[in-house]
Amino acid sequence: MTISVSSSTSDDNVTKNTAKNATAKQPKIVVKRHGIMRLLYTCKHTFNGLKWMCRNEAAFQQELMLFIPLTVFACMANISAAQSAMLVLALLFVLFAELVNTAVEVVVDRIGLEFHELSGLAKDIASAFVFLSMLMAAIVWWVVLWA
């Protein structure tokens, strides 16, 4: 004896779930924006990236905590505007290097979390970039303030 129970709601749910899974696997369409909308979306993505860095990246937070008081000092010091600009730009370069370092780390981690020699090398090179930017900033500050 076979009992057959048919429910249209369960069939509808299966169809809906299948449709959801099918649409979830489809790639997102990239919209190319032009003019002012491109600029507005660029600013939005820039803000999102900086917000993420401030919330999630400890090294960026530490560098930002140095950047703020040192920028105030550079602007208030008894030096020329060009020298102040050089000091601030040297600090901004360190933040830029940390952004690039984190971007490399995120992309490498996106590819795979398992160890690979080239993944480690990419992260090491990005870290060296941050170190060199800090060394350059220290040299600029030393030359402007004490040389």
Active site residue 57: no
The residue annotated as part of the active site, out of 98, 105, 114, 117, is 98
Contacts (Cβ under 8 Å, ≥6 apart) of 101? 59, 126, 127, 129, 130
User: Hey, how many other C-beta atoms are within 10 angstroms of the C-beta on 102?
Assistant: 19
User: Hey, how many other C-beta atoms are within 10 angstroms of the C-beta on 21?
Assistant: 9
Catalytic residues, which ones?
A: 98
